[in-house]
Amino acid sequence: MPMAEPTTLTVPLYQLAHGRTGDKGNRSNISVIAFHPQLWVPICAQVTEAAVAQLFADRQPRQVRRYLLPQLQAMNLVLDEVLDGGVNDALNLDSHGKTLCFRVLQMPISVPGALAPWIARPA
């Protein structure tokens, strides 16, 4: 008897979206853009301010804010005081915070199995 297709899949966010990171002083901006409009709802439901704050707990962000751009199926995450003072003050190897996007894109996201056609598979 063939196995039933799972009703929920859990995949890393990078299979559902791409992102980019920027910085200004001690603040990091991380964008997340869904690959397909159908993926926007589960991304939005799970990539919350609280989830991102927990993900970066080791960097102790003073505040995490999320700005939604539903027409673009995108969001901008703003993390305050996560860059060890910023590019001019930090001894941190990545004082610009350019790699912080990759941490967000590793987040596990649960999606309905019906959305499988829009999930990017690693090459």
Pick the CATH number of 8-107 from 1.10.490, 1.20.950, 3.30.70, 3.40.91: 3.30.70
Tell me the per-residue pLDDT of 75-122, one tens digit each, with 9 for 90 and over: 999 999 887 665 555 445 544 566 788 999 999 999 999 999 999 876
The token duo for 74 is 């995108």
* Residue 105 DSSP class: H
Which of these ranges, 7-11, 20-24, 36-40, has the smallest mean pLDDT? 20-24
The token duo for 21 is 């990171």
Q: Quick one: CA torsion of 115, 112, 19, 58, rounded to 10 degrees? A: -170
Q: What is the pLDDT of residue 95?
A: 47
Residue 5: pLDDT over 50: yes
Mean pLDDT of 37-46: 97
Q: What is the pTM of this model?
A: 0.85
